[in-house]
Structure 1
Amino acid sequence: MALSRDDVVRTALRLLNEEGIEGLTTRRLARELGVQSPALYWHFKSKRELLDLMAEAMLAEALPPDREPDPEHWPDWIAADARAKRHALLAYRDGARVHAGTLPTEDELPAVEAQLSALCRAGLRPRTALRLLLTVDRYIMGWVTEEQAWQQDAAGRGGAPFPDEALRTLPLLREAADVLRMTDHDTDFEYGLRVLVEGFRAEIARETAAGAGAGGPVVAAGPEAAEGDGPVWRHDRP
């Protein structure tokens, strides 16, 4: 039976869970599939492309590409996507490390365009909308990288981190000890996500006000409109 790209990606994801990202080599993957290493390059040009495909597969079920973002309720779907992405990456050993540095595949670009369109209709310019998506994405990547490292290293710490005695003369850290010890990853993740979303909610208000002050709408009429078609940026920030 001919080897398919899906066979390669699924086997790579299984090896990732078994060996971690350091153990995922093209030589080991080829051996697992019963082929010579050069045969793999019919399906991907480099290990970087393989990682892109693995990242896409990790998120495919959690974030279906045909989902339709709602401009009116953009904070809800931004938050829901962030939660789904975090849980999808946590489901794989070193999931965040695999995803870090990946680029959207061509198959994923229409979904990104749909998100940008919804955010523009909500009141953001295309560049700001893309910055929102990238900022949230990088928050998730950083968070899950730390979360997985914390969990994987727990056995080697030889006890609970930051014991009470170490905080005895540090009243502020003692009061926030549960955050310092990362005892509730979900709550802490939600806090950071909320701060990001609220920050961009304020950005929408600023851009809308800038557009009103310039005597016209701040948002281009559709995804095909050029960035320069609307009023100029009215802030001192880039």
Structure 2
Amino acid sequence: MKLDREVILETALTLLDEVGMDKLSTRLLAERLGVQQPALYWHFRNKRALLDAMNGEILRRVHERKLPEPGETWDAFLRENARSFRRALLARRDGARLHAGSEPDPADLDMVEEQLASVVRLGLPAPQAMTLLIALGRYTVGCVLEQQATPPDAAEQQQALDAAAASRPLLAEAFANYRRAGPDALFEIGIDLMLEGAKARMAGNEPPKRRTAAPRR
């Protein structure tokens, strides 16, 4: 089998699904590929570069909503963009952890510029657009980090926590609602709050409309 970047990345992503971030190593990857470890460094200068490339490959394959569609409003696009990003992070085991430590590829900056320009053209001022894109991205990573970090004994922990909260009615109700909602609905609620907050802030920054004086009779 010819060793190239594509083969290395595909094998590394398969290993990530099998063993997770904690156990993924260049030594293990080299063993799976049947090569010596230094052979990997002809294609990736170090493990960090490999992880960044793995993250980029996941986003390339799964993150499809990077630009607005015709007729889409800025808030509708940002919602779909966050959903698409979340799907990409969830597509692989520990996908959020992989992304959280990654560095942006300079080759992707043209796409970021185009994305930002598209949102600005839809009516969101550039400073707010960049801030909101970053905030939504970090919120999405945080949500997926929590979801993917669920321990094997999560059900037992939840039962113990619910039992301890039983004598605290507000907490008991909040926990029950939280359990019923699930990660998908909770993610959507957070996106709603952020987008509605952004729209409210924009409305509050609009100059007051000048009143037209009533004609004298």
Question: Which of the five TM-score ranges fits, normalised by the shorter chain?
Answer: 0.7 to 0.9
1:145-166, CA deviations, whole angstroms, 9 ceiling, x for partnerless residues? 001112xx14365364345542
1:18 offset after TM fit, Å? 0.5
Q: Which residue of 1 aligns with 2:188?
A: 190
1:106 aligns with 2:110: no
Q: Which residue of 1 aligns with 2:213?
A: none
Q: How does 1:2-21 map to 2 (within 5 A)?
A: 2-21=2-21
Larger CA deviation: 65-74 vs 185-194: 65-74
Structure with more of its chain in helix, by fraction:
2
Q: Which residue of 2 aligns with 1:53?
A: 53
Alpha carbons of 1:34 and 1:160: their partners in 2 closer, same or farther (altered >3 Å)? same
1:89 aligns with 2:89: yes
Q: How does 1:170-181 map to 2 (within 5 A)?
A: 170-181=168-179
Larger CA deviation: 74-83 vs 104-113: 104-113
CA distance in 1, matches of 2:36, 2:57: 24
CA distance in 2, matches of 1:88, 1:207: 35
1:178 offset after TM fit, Å? 2.5
Unaligned runs of at least 5 residues, structure 2: 210-217
- The answer to whether the 8 Å contact 2:5/2:43 transfers is yes
CA RMSD of aligned residues (A): 2.7
CA distance in 1, matches of 2:68, 2:180: 34
Unaligned runs of at least 5 residues, structure 1: 213-238
Alpha carbons of 1:110 and 1:204: their partners in 2 closer, same or farther (altered >3 Å)? farther
1:209 offset after TM fit, Å? 4.0
The higher radius of gyration belongs to 2
CA distance in 1, matches of 2:202, 2:25: 45
Larger CA deviation: 28-37 vs 200-209: 200-209
| TM-score using structure 1 length | 0.77
Q: How does 1:102-181 map to 2 (within 5 A)?
A: 102-150=102-150, 153-155=151-153, 158=156, 160-162=158-160, 164-181=162-179
CA distance in 2, matches of 1:128, 1:164: 40
1:83 offset after TM fit, Å? 1.2
- The answer to whether the 8 Å contact 2:67/2:115 transfers is no
Name the SS of the counterpart of 2:149 in structure 1.
Answer: helix
Following superposition, which runs of at least 4 residues in structure 1 exceed 6 angstroms of deviation?
none
CA distance in 1, matches of 2:29, 2:180: 35
CA distance in 2, matches of 1:64, 1:157: 34
Q: Which residue of 2 aligns with 1:225?
A: none
1:111-153, CA deviations, whole angstroms, 9 ceiling, x for partnerless residues? 2111100122233343332221111110011110001112xx1
Larger CA deviation: 33-42 vs 9-18: 33-42
